[in-house]
């Protein structure tokens, strides 16, 4: 239960620092985990700015904080204690799946809840309500749920492609769209995730929220800024795509790399400038702004509840202890394990007769973030065409735990191809390894081909066939596989993915037989 409303108190700087450092410690656990996403995915690179912007907003609120209301007692302490378990669980699972969106949102919810509980204990319900916005602003750095992001990106790409193609045709340029690609004569322009508008949409959301706070706009105008920024960013992305199409038409597809990123940065700057100008225009309408809050009468140290600094020290120590416990968990399970068999693709040479390795487009590397990747084209003795794509991510916290963006359901559909059929997961025996795979039947422009897809399999540590099976489960956001990784103490151990397509075979059964025979000549076991 709550105590009576206290009188504002003048505390020593130690009390204030214990509260502020406790909040910093709680948020550092989330930002540390999110740093992988910010580094690996361009659409979330704005996340590197969020901690600094959120800290500025929090500091501004700190200077304007009200006098404390009833200090939270038992309920707030219980809430803070209860959050320890889901927080520890989120840190444990995210160690093996650092890019798994649900566990990142679980950790974010725990961090927000713990922060609000600390505010309740420090200054009562008045502080808890007053500091809500800085905490929720920081959530713009958390990646959106994978299904929502994928669906939105795909549909925005298709829309941008269709609109750009119509404009090009209106201008008298011969252009055709298929999926998220635009064909301009002999050149093909792919509409990547960055061109879909999703990256600008997420950045404009952050900008709209920050400018709304900077200018102290009322809620409806903050909502307007976010919506207007998202719409403007998407329209500018269509203009960007149109300009890139004209560059390809005039100078060829090899010139696209020189203009792609600069055009994207220019769009971001124009969007920010437009939102800032909207705020400047609103200055003429006082009703759009909230009444300026006076500086806090509490100064830097005043008003903090008597539970600090002891509680602050406990929280500050608890965060590194939770990370230490996670490390002990994984190391204790890795100590008695041996390295699981791994495989790689035999290098191309004149003796193998399978063509030469070629680099994948820079845009693919940028999107997937692999450490090693190449493709091969060749024709076998029966005149059938084959295409191999091999990707590998090295072990480490920054290596992806899943090749979801590389799934045929995404990349083949985005290329304008239609998936006719997909097999159940099967196993192929290759040099003593059990390689899981799926067989896809795919069609485009009445041309049918067959694709064998080997999902992510790791170099994982292993002491039994069952644990090795955990590593070779189908990837993606498979909940049970990721939870089993954490429970077995299997961290991010590096992954590889392979696609082998065959054109020129009549049936799926015959194609599967030929692809598997080819696969056995391409893979080798790497014993360490």
The pLDDT tens digits for 82-98 are 999 999 999 999 888 88
Question: What is the pLDDT averaged over residues 143-172?
Answer: 84
| Rounded mean pLDDT, 479-505 | 80
> Would you call 22 exposed, middle or buried from its count of C-beta atoms within 10 A (0-12, 13-18, 19+)?
buried
pLDDT confidence tier of residue 404, bands split at 50, 70 and 90: very low
DSSP sequence for 239-307: HHHHHHHHHHHHH-GGGHHHHHHHHHHHHHHHHHHHHHHHHHHHTT-GGGBPPPPPPPTTTTTTT--TT
pLDDT digits (tens, 9 = 90+) for 36-72: 888 877 778 889 999 999 999 999 999 988 888 876 5
Choose the weakest-confidence range: 209-223, 251-265, 355-369, 462-476.
Answer: 462-476
Average pLDDT, the chain: 81
Structure-token pair, residue 214: 């900077």
3-state secondary structure at position 454: strand
pLDDT above 60 for 268: yes
367 φ, ψ (degrees, to nearest 5)? -75, -40
Instruction: Indicate whether 258 pLDDT > 80.
Output: no
- The per-residue pLDDT for 367 is 67
pLDDT for position 262: 74
For the chain, give the percent of residues with pLDDT over 70. 82
Task: Please tell me the distance from the alpha carbon of residue 78 to that of residue 68, in angstroms, as a whole number.
Answer: 20
* Cβ partners under 8 Å of residue 171, min gap 6: none
Instruction: Assign 366 a pLDDT band (cuts: 50, 70, 90).
Output: low
Q: Is the pLDDT of residue 458 over 80?
A: no
Confidence of residue 115 (pLDDT cuts 50, 70, 90): very high
Total count of residues recorded for the chain: 528
Residues 203-220, mean pLDDT to the nearest whole number = 91
pLDDT at 463: 34
| pLDDT for residue 464 | 34
pLDDT > 60? residue 385: yes
Q: Using 50, 70 and 90 to split pLDDT, how confident is the model at 467? A: very low
Angle at 31 between CA 265 and CA 494, to 5 degrees: 85
Q: Give, for 345, the enclosing helix (H) or strand (E).
A: strand 342-345
For residue 305 the two structure tokens come to: 């509840």
Q: Is 80 exceeded by the pLDDT of residue 155?
A: yes
Q: Which of 249-253, 292-296, 522-526 is most confident?
A: 522-526
Give the pLDDT score at 14.
Answer: 84
Which pLDDT score, from 0 to 100, does residue 428 have? Answer: 87
pLDDT confidence bin for 15, thresholds 50/70/90: confident
Q: Where are the domains of the chain?
A: 13-143+305-333, 146-288, 338-526
pLDDT at 354: 63
Would you say 267 and 234 are in contact if contact means Cβ atoms under 8 Å apart? no
- pLDDT of the residue at 524: 85
Dihedral sign, CA of 164, 170, 171, 176?
positive
Q: How far apart are CA 141 and CA 51, in angstroms?
A: 8
Burial class (CB in 10 A: 0-12, 13-18, 19+), 142: buried
Angle at 51 between CA 49 and CA 56, to 5 degrees: 95
Q: What angle do CA 10, 11, 12 make, to 5 degrees?
A: 135
Q: What local confidence, expressed as pLDDT, does residue 253 receive?
A: 60
Tokens matching residue 28: 């550092």
Confidence of residue 333 (pLDDT cuts 50, 70, 90): confident
**Where does the pLDDT of residue 221 fall: very low under 50, low under 70, confident under 90, or very high at 90 and above?**
very high
Ranking 67-81, 105-119, 243-257, 321-335 by mean pLDDT, the lowest is: 243-257
Q: How confident is the model at residue 424 (pLDDT cuts 50, 70, 90)?
A: very high
- Please state, in angstroms and rounded to a whole number, the distance separating the CA atoms of residues 302 and 295: 13
Mean pLDDT of 430-436: 81
The stretch 113-132 carries a mean pLDDT of 92
21-30, 301-310, 327-336, range with greatest mean pLDDT: 21-30
Examine the pLDDT at 4 and tell me if it is beyond 60: no
Query: Is the pLDDT score of 493 beyond 70?
Result: no
Could you say which DSSP state residue 45 is in? G
Q: Is the pLDDT of residue 498 over 60?
A: yes
> Looking at residue 421, what is its pLDDT?
93
Q: Quick check: 392 and 495 in contact, CB under 8 A?
A: yes
Q: Find the mean pLDDT for residues 142-151.
A: 85
Q: Are 436 and 426 in contact (CB under 8 A)?
A: yes
Give me the percent of the chain exceeding a pLDDT of 90: 33
How far apart are alpha carbons 26 and 28 in whole angstroms?
Answer: 6
**Nearest to 223, CA basis, from 211, 235, 233, 234:** 211
Residue 152 in this model has a pLDDT that exceeds 90: no
- The tens digit of pLDDT for each residue in 98-109 reads 888 899 999 999
Higher pLDDT, 146 or 460: 146
* Tokens (6 digits) for 182: 């635009």
> Given this model, what pLDDT does residue 341 score?
62
């Amino acid at each position: 239960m709550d105590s009576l409303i206290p009188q504002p108190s003048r505390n020593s700087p130690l009390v204030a620092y214990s509260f502020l450092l406790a909040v910093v410690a709680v948020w550092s656990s989330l930002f540390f985990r999110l740093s992988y996403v910010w580094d690996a995915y361009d659409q979330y690179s704005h996340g590197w700015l969020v901690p600094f912007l959120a800290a500025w907003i929090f500091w501004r609120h700190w200077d304007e904080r009200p006098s404390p209301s009833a200090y939270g007692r038992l309920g707030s302490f219980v809430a803070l204690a209860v959050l320890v378990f889901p927080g520890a669980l989120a840190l444990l699972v995210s160690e093996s799946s650092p890019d798994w969106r649900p566990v990142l949102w679980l950790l974010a919810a725990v961090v927000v809840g713990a922060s609000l509980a600390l505010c309740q204990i420090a200054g009562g319900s008045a502080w808890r309500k007053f500091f809500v916005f800085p905490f929720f602003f920081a959530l713009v750095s958390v990646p959106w749920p994978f299904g929502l992001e994928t669906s939105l990106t795909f549909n925005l790409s298709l829309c941008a492609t269709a609109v750009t193609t119509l404009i090009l045709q209106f201008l008298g340029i011969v252009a055709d769209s298929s999926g998220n690609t635009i064909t301009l004569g002999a050149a093909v322009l792919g509409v990547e995730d960055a061109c879909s508008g999703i990256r600008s949409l997420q950045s404009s959301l952050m900008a709209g929220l920050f400018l709304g706070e900077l200018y102290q706009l009322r809620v409806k105008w903050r909502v307007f800024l976010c919506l207007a920024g998202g719409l403007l960013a998407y329209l500018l992305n269509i203009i960007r795509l149109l300009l890139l199409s004209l560059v390809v038409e005039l100078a060829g597809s090899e010139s696209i790399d020189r203009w792609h990123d600069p055009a994207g940065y220019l769009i971001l700057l124009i969007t920010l400038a437009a939102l800032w100008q909207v705020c400047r225009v609103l200055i003429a309408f006082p009703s759009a702004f909230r009444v300026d809050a006076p500086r806090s009468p509490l100064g830097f140290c005043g008003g903090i509840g008597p539970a600090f600094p002891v509680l602050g020290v406990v929280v500050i120590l608890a965060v590194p202890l939770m990370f230490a416990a996670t490390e002990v968990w994984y190391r204790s399970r890795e100590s008695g394990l041996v390295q699981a068999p791994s495989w790689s693709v035999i290098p191309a040479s004149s003796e193998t007769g399978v063509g030469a390795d070629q680099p994948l487009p820079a845009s693919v590397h940028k999107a997937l973030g692999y450490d090693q990747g190449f493709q091969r084209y060749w024709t076998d003795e029966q005149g059938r065409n084959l295409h191999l794509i091999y990707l590998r991510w090295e072990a480490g916290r920054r290596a992806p735990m899943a090749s979801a963006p590389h799934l045929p359901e995404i990349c083949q559909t985005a290329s304008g191809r239609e998936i006719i059929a997909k097999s159940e997961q099967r196993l192929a025996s290759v040099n003593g390894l059990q390689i899981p795979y799926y067989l896809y039947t795919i069609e485009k422009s009445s041309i049918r081909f067959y694709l064998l897809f080997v999902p992510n399999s790791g170099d994982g540590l292993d002491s039994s066939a069952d644990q090795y099976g955990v590593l070779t489960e189908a990837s993606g956001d498979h909940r049970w596989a990721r939870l089993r990784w954490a429970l077995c103490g299997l961290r991010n151990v590096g992954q590889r993915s392979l696609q082998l397509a065959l054109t020129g075979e009549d049936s799926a059964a015959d194609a599967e037989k030929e692809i598997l025979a080819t696969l056995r000549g391409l893979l080798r076991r790497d014993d360490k």
